[in-house]
Structure formats: structure tokens, C-alpha cells
Structure 1
Amino acid sequence: MADTPPRSDSELEPVRTTLFSKEPSGKTYRIPALIHLRHCHTFLAFAEKRTSSSDTDATLFVVRRGTQEEDGSIQWSSCQELSAASLPGHRTMNPCPVYEEQSKTLFLFFICILGKVTEQHQILTGRNRARLCYISSGDGGQNWSQVTDLTKSAIGATIREWATFAVGPGHGIQMQSGRLIIPAYAYYKPCCCWFVPIPGTVQPYAFSVYSDDLGHTWQIGEMLQKLSCECQMAEIIDQEGRSRLYCNARHTEYRREALSEDSGVNFDKPHNDRKLVEAKKSSGCQGSVVGFSAPNWALNSGGDTEASASSLLSPDMRTWLLFAHPTSKHSRIDLGVYLNRSALTSQGWEKPWIVHRGPSGYSDLAYDKDKDQFSCLMECGIKSETEEIAFMSFTLYDIMQAASQHQEKTC
């Protein structure tokens, strides 16, 4: 990798804590998922434990618990295996946690795939070998229920149209209405010949899995109208209080975005966002998005000097977005966070702040509204993005300071 020029102190990356590291034996930890439990001031960091970096060598989930101390530090527990999140003869993949506030129930969604059957084999044969599952916890992840297989009740006969499917990976959300949202995608089979898909016709489309009864029952929404793969979703609220569900999905050259007016049942026609590039060498990469309340100074700024300094300020939006993803259009390097203060426009994304220079992969964002602080769990390393999964935290001020410095340099 080419040398990068020295940076000033103001450009330094956030301090990161390594939570999972590749072992000398070859055991690798991949596919991070992060959730912040506000009621108990706790982070849960999930990952897949694999015997190698290959998808077919995934085994089960591991988790570390981060307790927030009064001084702002986080004390992390040792690594624990989640044996409850499994089905006999299957490997466990794609952690996707979501918290239901009324019942104080934490759901951990995932897929279980038969043996070592690859995604590509399922796509070529049209024979799905994935199951939709979850476990739940009523005590903030201290103890977990037995596994629930939702494949039949939530997907039903529709699964005959899919070669395979997955959730997330990364976090789900609960909307203001109480609806729980799990992001998902499936490889749809448009046509078959003697029950075998016609080569090249099986393609991925994103959709939501949702519940309106505190997670007792779940159903699936309609697929996006254009090709879209691994995705995450966020609720955005305008100044009049109207809610929309935003979907940000992996594609080939640029990220795909879509909005839903009915909370994830249907989405409008997706579009490519040319400010959010994908790495061509790896056919893109998973990314993470969170929505958060716009700061009061922005919503009530009027002629405020600080607010008017931004040409992209959108006072008609109560929700801003933050997106994490590798910033190179060539390969998975230089993980950046992008701020969007105008989520309903196609030009809302600002230049990214690079929070890790070097190999970077999958990531997951969380937002602590009490501390007004963001956290990111990310794959990263020096020579490869599969070397470790690390945790870091930063504030909106940090992001905006980085943007201001970038603007000064380009003027």
C-alpha cells in the first residue's frame, strides 16, 4: 500500500479498541454488529467466529459486553460464545440485533445455513438452504432464549421464489410507531427451466422484515424495484413530524437508496447515490447507517452564525443521517463516515471523515442520544480488513470539525 502523507493532530483517527483479533490458528472474526442499550448504558458487540476468513467456515456468534462508566470509559467483558444462536447442522451468520423498548426485549436475528453450502451454490441451483432465526433476551443480553425459526411463519411460500436470502448484517431499528424493522435481502428467481434458474437471472433485492406486535409475529415487505443487496435502514422525520423509512443498500458501483412512505411495506423507485461509491474489486461492501435528531441549534437557528456556516443545512428535517463505509471506489480501504443533514435530497451527503486509513470492511454504527455520541464497530487491519474488529466513538462535533478542516484545505 502506498505511503500516505503525514497528518496533523487534528486529522488523527479516533482512538480504537480491538475487540476481536485473528488468531495464529487461522480463526477469524468477521461481520460486526453493534447495539447500544440505553436503559442499562451498555454496548453489545457481536461477530461471527470462523475457522478461516471464508464464509463457509463460519461457525457461531461471539459477543462482548461494554459497560459505560461514569468517567465515560467503557469496560469490556471477555469474549463469550452464543451457542443458543444455532440450529443443528447449520452455520450461523449475519448478526442483526434490534431492541423493543416497551417490552424491554432484545432480539438477535440471524440466518442459519445448512452445512457448508455456499451462497453461490444456492444461486446456481435455485435451492435455498438458509433459515430465518432469532433468539431474544429480557435482561440486556445476559441470558438468551432458545432459537426461534421464523422461516415458515414470516416468509412462507414466498421462499420458493428465492434462491437464498439473508438479514442485515448490522442493526435493526424500532420506529416511532413501535414497528420493528429488520433489514434483509433475497436472491429472487424470476424464471426457471425444469426447476433450475436460468443462469444470470437470479439477482438480489433488499426488503424489510417487520413486526407491529412487539416482536411476537413477523412479516416481510415488498422488495425494492431495482437490484440491491446487503442493506440497513433508518427512520427519518421531517419538521412536520412525517415519518419515512430510508434504505441504503449495497450495489456494484454506487450505493442504492430508497424511501418508504408506509414504514417498509413498499419502497419507491431506488436511485444510485454518486456520492457514496462502492469498491469495484470486491463488488461493493456492506455499509451502516443511523438516523439521529438534528441538534437544536440547527432546527432553531434562524440567522445563527454557526448554523448558517453550512451550505448544506436543512432546517426542514428533524433527522440527520450518518453513514459508514470504505471510501475508495477501487478496494476496501479508508473507512469513512458521511454526514447527511438533508436526507430527502439526492445531494445531502457531505465529504467523508476518514476514521481508519488502511484496509477496512464491514461496519456497524450505533448512536447514544444521552451522550450525543456515535460508536462504530468495524473490520480493519494493516494488511487486510479481516485482521481485527475494532470499536471507536466520536461526536457530531468531531465530524463537523473534520468537515470544516477539509473545506478550508480545498478553498
Structure 2
Amino acid sequence: MKAKETTTILDPIHTDVFLGGEEGYHTYRIPSVITTLNGTLLAFCEGRRESGRDQSPTDMMLRRSLDGGVTWELMQTAVAAVPDAAMDPCPVVDRTTGTVWLIYDRWPEGYRGEEIAGVGPDAVSCWGTHSTDDGATWSEPVNITATTKKPYWTGFAHGPGVGIQTQSGRLIVSCNQYEDGHRCLIIYSDDHGKTWQMGGETGPAVDESQVVELADGRLMLNMRSTRGKRCRAIATSTDGGQTWSDIRDDPTLIEPVCQGSFLRYTLASEHDRNRLLFCNPANQTSRVNGTVRLSYDEGQTWAIAKTLVPDEFMYSCLTVLPDLSLGCLYETDGYRIIRFARFTLDWLTDGADGIERK
């Protein structure tokens, strides 16, 4: 008899993780959370020192949880960048080595995204740091710009969210560039993070994205769209991200133009069926109604949708916990709070679905 592995929680449990005004930072923004090979939760965000605006003096902050998000250790600085801005955290776990890579962009002091054009091709740079002890300590950051960003690009950003490791072992982080119509791409490493390369670009009018490997080996990008449809944009790749399909709109995944989280939950080869998750503010005009969706057909349709947070809900990031329950780190309360919600598949599907391992 197959054993059910989820832990039933009647309602999601919400815990404040980062509060604006504390620890010397005006605002905390851009949440990212990932579960390490040992089950430690790493919650990252931007610590904006002086104001809430993008590209203000910003360090990359981190809190760890050793008990599935019930309690959180004291905040630490993963990357010290002030007076520059370390932005758009995109961690990825190498499940072969256990190493956690943190990829991010660094913006020079005093410039915002809309001001960066004309400053020069090195205005924004791409960086990586890594941890071999579940985020307790971090290596000296390494500049990977030369192989991950074209020389003439000015604006460039990662994720934000998380990266993935494919079945072949490749590490992948999604990105977007501002120079030529706002297009998405991936950067990848085939040597466990030692070196990074860039893939090809999608069509225009898309930016903040997350990538998933589909069961058949294709990559799928789920992207914020400025195409005027007020829904997410989708592109797929059959060659590891070197080329991308034409962009299609997914009218089910409505958005007010906001970042969203897109994540592999289970594979039929390891569990009972394929499942993908998506989370965003499901509203076409306002960043409210934080909704988690579940797909059983690799993102073609979304069979399940349930509201996690009915009121303010901005940027978010999903993660799968060791017991196969789920976590979501999200912005709320006028960008004053980054909060963690823990919930189960039972809650999401009203008891209709439970995971069984083969």
C-alpha cells in the first residue's frame, strides 16, 4: 500500500520573516526561498537601506529555518553591496554536490533601471556566490558578467525567484534584458557552477520570469508580460534554452503585470503524477488576491486555483518542503512585510489530491 506523504494542516500558517524598518533597512523586497538538500529553508530578499525604490543602496539578506519555516534564525547579510545595489536573488541548489548558488545582479550607486540607458554596457553586472554549509556562510562573490551578458546590454536582471537543476545536472537561472524590447533568456552551468553561459532570447515585451523543466525534457519559461493582455506569457525550448518558441499568452494566469512564482512540484517518474505550481496576484488591475494554482498536464491547463492571501500580495516565491508540504514567501502590507506561508496539497485541493511515492 502506498503511503501518503503530505502533512495535513487545516489552514495555511503565516509567519513574518522580514519587516521593513528593522535591522537598519528601510524596506525589504523581492522574496526568494529555496529548500536545500538537507531540508534547510533559505529565505532571501533585498535589504534596501534608504528607501523602497529599486536600485537604491541594497544588500542581499538571508534568514534560515531549520524546522520547515516554523521558526527563523537571525538575519544575516549574504552579499554586502551598499552603496551599490545587490538585486534579484535567484538561488539554485546543486543536488549532486549539495552546494547552494546565489545568482544576482549588481547595479551601480545612484542609478535606476529607467535611467541606466546610455551609462554604458557595464552599468549592471552579474554575480554569483555559493554556500557549502546550507547558507551558514558564503563565498566571496564572483563576477560572471563576461559570459552571461552581451556587451551592449545595459539593463539586465535575474529571475527573480529560484533557479533549477535539470535531470541532466545543468544549473539554470532565468533572466531578462532591457536593451532590445525586454526579452527573457536563461543562463546555465554544466560544471556545477564553476562557469556560466547564456542561452538565446525570447520574443519581446516580457521580463521577470521563472523556468521549469517539463517531463519530456523541454524548458518552459513563465514570464511577466507587457504585451497588453494582462496575463502571463509562455515560451518553451527543445534545445536547452538556445532557442525559444513563439510566445503564447495564458489567459488563465491573469496578472496586473507583476512577478510570479512557477515551480516543479512532482514528477510522475518519482511520484504518482506530474504536478506544476504557479502563484501570483490573480487580478488584472491590482496586486491582490494571492492565488496558488496546480497543473496536472505540464502547464497546459490549471485544474486547481485557491486563494492563499485575499488582500495585498505582490512578489512571491514557492518552495517544496522535505515532507512535500509547500511554502510561499510573499510581500504584503504595502511592501512593509515579507511573510512565509506553509500549507499542504490537502488544503490546496480541498482533500482531493495526495502524493504517493512510487
1:329-357 deviation line (CA, Å, top 9, x unaligned): 11101111011111253xx1235211011
Question: Which whole-Å CA distance do the structure 2 matches of 1:259 and 1:80 have between them?
Answer: 37
Q: Which residue of 1 aligns with 2:196?
A: 218
1:184-212 deviation line (CA, Å, top 9, x unaligned): 000133xxxxxxxxxxxxx2101000011
Superposition misfits of 4+ residues, deviation over 6 angstroms: 295-298
Taking structure 1 as reference, are residues 102 and 403 closer, same or farther at Cα in structure 2, changes over 3 Å only? Answer: closer
2:151 corresponds to 1:159? yes
Question: Which whole-Å CA distance do the structure 1 matches of 2:128 and 2:231 have between them?
Answer: 31
Taking structure 1 as reference, are residues 124 and 400 closer, same or farther at Cα in structure 2, changes over 3 Å only? Answer: farther
Indicate conservation of the 8 Å contact 2:58/2:82, yes or no.
Answer: no
Q: Which residue of 2 aligns with 1:271?
A: 248
Indicate conservation of the 8 Å contact 1:154/1:217, yes or no.
Answer: no
Matched to 2:92, the amino acid is: V
2:277 corresponds to 1:286? no
Taking structure 1 as reference, are residues 223 and 150 closer, same or farther at Cα in structure 2, changes over 3 Å only? Answer: same
Q: Which residue of 2 aligns with 1:352?
A: 305
Question: Which whole-Å CA distance do the structure 2 matches of 1:44 and 1:90 have between them?
Answer: 23
Task: Give SS of 1:145's match.
Answer: coil
Unaligned runs of 5+ in 1: 1-11, 190-202, 300-317, 405-411
Question: Which whole-Å CA distance do the structure 2 matches of 1:292 and 1:90 have between them?
Answer: 36
1:394 offset after TM fit, Å? 1.3
Q: Which residue of 2 aligns with 1:108?
A: 102
Task: Give SS of 1:166's match.
Answer: strand
Indicate conservation of the 8 Å contact 1:13/1:355, yes or no.
Answer: no
What percent identity do the matched residue pairs reach?
Answer: 31
Q: Which residue of 2 aligns with 1:321?
A: 276
2:345 corresponds to 1:367? no
Task: Give SS of 2:285's match.
Answer: coil
Question: Which whole-Å CA distance do the structure 2 matches of 1:21 and 1:66 have between them?
Answer: 16
Q: Which residue of 2 aligns with 1:194?
A: none
Indicate conservation of the 8 Å contact 1:181/1:209, yes or no.
Answer: yes
Question: Which whole-Å CA distance do the structure 2 matches of 1:114 and 1:126 have between them?
Answer: 11
Taking structure 1 as reference, are residues 127 and 342 closer, same or farther at Cα in structure 2, changes over 3 Å only? Answer: same
Taking structure 1 as reference, are residues 363 and 337 closer, same or farther at Cα in structure 2, changes over 3 Å only? Answer: same
More helix per residue: 1
Taking structure 1 as reference, are residues 221 and 295 closer, same or farther at Cα in structure 2, changes over 3 Å only? Answer: closer
2:63 corresponds to 1:64? yes
Task: Give SS of 1:397's match.
Answer: helix
Question: Which whole-Å CA distance do the structure 1 matches of 2:182 and 2:352 have between them?
Answer: 34
1:249 offset after TM fit, Å? 0.4
Indicate conservation of the 8 Å contact 1:232/1:248, yes or no.
Answer: yes
Unaligned runs of 5+ in 2: 1-9, 354-358
Tell which deviates more after alignment, 53-62 or 85-94: 85-94
Q: Which residue of 2 aligns with 1:175?
A: 166
1:6-51 deviation line (CA, Å, top 9, x unaligned): xxxxxx862200001122887111000101013x221000111112
TM-score (norm 1): 0.77
Task: Give SS of 2:203's match.
Answer: coil
Indicate conservation of the 8 Å contact 1:63/1:79, yes or no.
Answer: yes
Indicate conservation of the 8 Å contact 2:57/2:81, yes or no.
Answer: no
Equivalent residues in 2 for 1:22-171 (5 A)? Answer: 22-23=20-21, 27-38=26-37, 40-50=38-48, 51-68=50-67, 74-82=70-78, 85-86=79-80, 90-123=84-117, 129-155=123-149, 158-160=150-152, 162-171=153-162
Higher gyration radius (CA): 1
Task: Provide the alpha-carbon RMSD of the alignment.
Answer: 2.4
Q: Which residue of 1 aligns with 2:330?
A: 378
Question: Which whole-Å CA distance do the structure 2 matches of 1:96 and 1:340 have between them?
Answer: 23
Equivalent residues in 2 for 1:219-234 (5 A)? Answer: 219-234=197-212
Question: Which whole-Å CA distance do the structure 1 matches of 2:270 and 2:320 have between them?
Answer: 19
Question: Which whole-Å CA distance do the structure 2 matches of 1:344 and 1:56 have between them?
Answer: 33
Taking structure 1 as reference, are residues 220 and 26 closer, same or farther at Cα in structure 2, changes over 3 Å only? Answer: closer
Q: Which residue of 2 aligns with 1:7?
A: none
Question: Which whole-Å CA distance do the structure 2 matches of 1:319 and 1:222 have between them?
Answer: 27
Question: Which whole-Å CA distance do the structure 2 matches of 1:62 and 1:98 have between them?
Answer: 16
Q: Which residue of 1 aligns with 2:4?
A: none
Q: When the two structures are aligned, how many residues end up with a matched partner?
A: 340
1:322 offset after TM fit, Å? 0.4
1:74 offset after TM fit, Å? 2.8
1:104 offset after TM fit, Å? 2.0
Q: Which residue of 2 aligns with 1:308?
A: none
1:55-106 deviation line (CA, Å, top 9, x unaligned): 13241011111002xxx67331011122xx2457521111110111222211
Task: Give SS of 1:74's match.
Answer: coil
Whose RCO is larger (CA < 8 A, sep 6+)?
A: 2
2:315 corresponds to 1:390? no
Question: Which whole-Å CA distance do the structure 2 matches of 1:212 and 1:73 have between them?
Answer: 31
Question: Which whole-Å CA distance do the structure 2 matches of 1:270 and 1:367 have between them?
Answer: 28
TM-score (norm 2): 0.88
Taking structure 1 as reference, are residues 88 and 372 closer, same or farther at Cα in structure 2, changes over 3 Å only? Answer: closer
Taking structure 1 as reference, are residues 100 and 294 closer, same or farther at Cα in structure 2, changes over 3 Å only? Answer: closer
Taking structure 1 as reference, are residues 123 and 293 closer, same or farther at Cα in structure 2, changes over 3 Å only? Answer: same
1:364 offset after TM fit, Å? 0.6
2:182 corresponds to 1:186? no
